[in-house]
C-alpha cells in the first residue's frame, strides 16, 4: 500500500476506519485513538498532573500487544478495541513527550 500526503502516516484501510455519513475517515481507529490520547495527556499536563512514568511503559506495551495480535497472529479486533488501545497508547506516548519537555525546560 502506498501512503500519500493526506494519510499522515496512517494506512487508512476502510475496514479499520470509522464511518461518518457513510464515508470512511481518512485515518484508522487506532490513529484516531492515539490523537485523542495525546490531547487527553496534554490536558492532564496543563490542568492536573501526569501519571508516573511506568504507566507509559505499560500503556505502550498494551498497544503493541494489540497490534502484534492483529498483524502477526491475524486475530481480528473491532474498531472499538483499536480505538481504546490507541487512546491508551497515545496517552502513554504523551507522558513520555511531556516528561521529556519537562527535562529540557529544567535543564
3 state SS of 107: coil
Q: Residue 49 burial by CB count (10 A; 0-12/13-18/19+): exposed, middle or buried? A: exposed
Distances (CA, A) of 59 to 53, 63, 79, 94: 10, 6, 18, 11
- Convert the pLDDT of each residue in 10-61 to its tens digit: 777 777 777 888 887 778 888 889 999 999 999 999 998 889 999 999 999 9
- Total count of residues recorded for the chain: 107
Task: Provide the sign of the torsion angle of the four alpha carbons 42, 44, 28, 89, taken in this order.
Answer: positive
Find the mean pLDDT for residues 56-73. Answer: 87
Amino acid at each position: 500500500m502506498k501512503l500519500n500526503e493526506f494519510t499522515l502516516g496512517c494506512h487508512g484501510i476502510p475496514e479499520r476506519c470509522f464511518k461518518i455519513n457513510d464515508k470512511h475517515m481518512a485515518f484508522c481507529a487506532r490513529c484516531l485513538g492515539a490523537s485523542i490520547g495525546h490531547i487527553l495527556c496534554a490536558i492532564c499536563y496543563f490542568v492536573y498532573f501526569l501519571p508516573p512514568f511506568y504507566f507509559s511503559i505499560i500503556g505502550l506495551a498494551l498497544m503493541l500487544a494489540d497490534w502484534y495480535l492483529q498483524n502477526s497472529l491475524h486475530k481480528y479486533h473491532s474498531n472499538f478495541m483499536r480505538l481504546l488501545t490507541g487512546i491508551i497508547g497515545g496517552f502513554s506516548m504523551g507522558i513520555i513527550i511531556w516528561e521529556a519537555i519537562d527535562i529540557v525546560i529544567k535543564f
